[in-house]
Amino acid sequence: MAHPAVNALIQLLPPPQRKHLIAQCEPIELVLSQVLCEPGQVLAHAYFPLEGFVSLVVRVDTHPGLEVGMIGREGMLGSELALGMDSTPWRALSQGAGSCLRLEADSFRQLVQASPELQRVCHNYLLVRLHQLTLSAACERFHVIGPRLARWLLMTQDRAHADTFHVTHEFMALMLGVRRVGVTMAASALQRSGLITYHRGEVTVLHRAGLEAEACSCYLIDKTHYHRLMHLPQA
């Protein structure tokens, strides 16, 4: 029998506070390509993914959007609320359909003010996000498309919790900030190496260890930072 999906941040809370937070949440289903917030828009809710996952996308001038972060059940959307902020600089886009817990912004702020444990979890996670944003900028500048694509596929698999997931070359190119032809060539190379298959928008990871070997160092650094900053044992 499959265990119910849980959110890692909520699980870090003491049981009474965990139960209290969940009781105030509304269970929802994330829909593929659903927009959860826009840059500068007031955050109405905090989101704790259970199965779905979310891309954080920024736009500069008239350029297409670039993904600067990905949130699955290891994190949350709206952690800025814990600092008293009421908006974010990015667009949050549901990349994978699935269940999620949603909490009204005012209720979340009240819980944070009343709970030192929840404050600590949110502040640690905000530091994780800062590290991810910094690493994303460096990765974009210094690493070539192939290893970046391998890293992105691993991150997506981690959050989809499945070997097969739906994604198009156009979407991968948008998220990586590169031309579609570059993604097509990199994905074809991974497929020829027997690491993935790709057919009609469905990617299947065939050889995860091989894909990890192809990925840039940012993938492992990202995971290490998360476990260290959230005070979790290394996976």
Q: What are the distances in angstroms from CA 160 to CA 1, 52, 144?
A: 19, 7, 24
Say if residue 40 is in the same domain as residue 106. Answer: yes
Residue 194, by phi and psi: left (phi above 0), alpha (psi -120 to 50) or beta? left
Q: Out of 105, 140, 175, pick the residue that ends a domain.
A: 140
Kindly state the percentage of the chain with pLDDT values over 70. 98
Q: Is residue 235 part of a domain?
A: no
pLDDT at 235: 61
Q: At what angle do helices 145-160 and 218-229 cross, to 10 degrees?
A: 40
Say if residue 160 is in the same domain as residue 52. Answer: no
Q: Is residue 231 part of a domain?
A: no
Q: Is residue 229 part of a domain?
A: no
Q: Which two tokens stand for residue 103?
A: 């909490």
Q: Is residue 180 part of a domain?
A: yes
Q: Is residue 176 part of a domain?
A: yes
Residue 3 DSSP class:
P
Say if residue 165 is in the same domain as residue 113. Answer: no
pTM: 0.93
- What tens digit of pLDDT does each residue of 49-62 get? 999 899 999 988 87
d(CA 198, CA 204): 7
Say if residue 112 is in the same domain as residue 163. Answer: no
pLDDT at 62: 79
Q: Is residue 3 part of a domain?
A: no
Place of tokens 């694509």: 149
Say if residue 50 is in the same domain as residue 123. Answer: yes
Q: Out of 84, 113, 140, pick the residue that ends a domain.
A: 140
**Structural domain containing residue 189:** 144-215
pLDDT at 4: 67
Domain count of the fold of the chain? 2
Say if residue 39 is in the same domain as residue 126. Answer: yes
Phi, psi of 66 (to 5 degrees): -130, 130
Nearest one of 234, 52, 235, 233 to 159, comparing CA atoms: 52
Kindly state the percentage of the chain with pLDDT values over 90. 82
End-to-end CA distance of the chain: 23
Contact between 50 and 99 under an 8 Å Cβ cutoff? The reply is: yes
Q: Is residue 165 part of a domain?
A: yes
- What tens digit of pLDDT does each residue of 76-131 get? 999 999 999 999 999 999 988 899 999 999 999 999 999 999 999 999 999 999 99
